[in-house]
Amino acid sequence: MAWKNHPFAARLRYALNGITHALRAEHSVKFQAGALLAVIAGLSVLRPRPVWWALALLASALVLAAELMNTALEELADQVNPEQHPRIRLVKDCAAGAVLVAVLGALAVAVAFLVQLLRH
């Protein structure tokens, strides 16, 4: 059976396997998952309007998604060429840069939320 034609349950299992692997193997993913839990806890205490929940959870999800893509790319690059190579280093640096951009976006949401909170 072709990879893309697997049943939904199998594709979901593959995705959960990837998330589980990243949580076990990558410190950055563990940190970001912990940050997501802290965001949820903070939102639960502060009880903001639903739009802030949506923005914060979307921003957190984007950071975790970027971390997972970075992890996947690094795993693939290391499998293809385990030796140090300047082009592969550049690819890894760009993937890390994507995570940084996502984190900065999440921080912008946090700052906007705090500014709004302090004004009321």
Separation of alpha carbons 8 and 3, rounded Å: 11
State the DSSP code for 84. Answer: -
Separation of alpha carbons 120 and 115, rounded Å: 9
Tokens 């140090």 identify what position? 84
Closest CA to 103 of 72, 74, 75, 61: 61
User: Is 67 designated active site?
Assistant: yes
Look at the chain and count its residues. 120
Catalytic residue among 67, 74, 75, 83: 67
Q: Which residues are catalytic?
A: 67
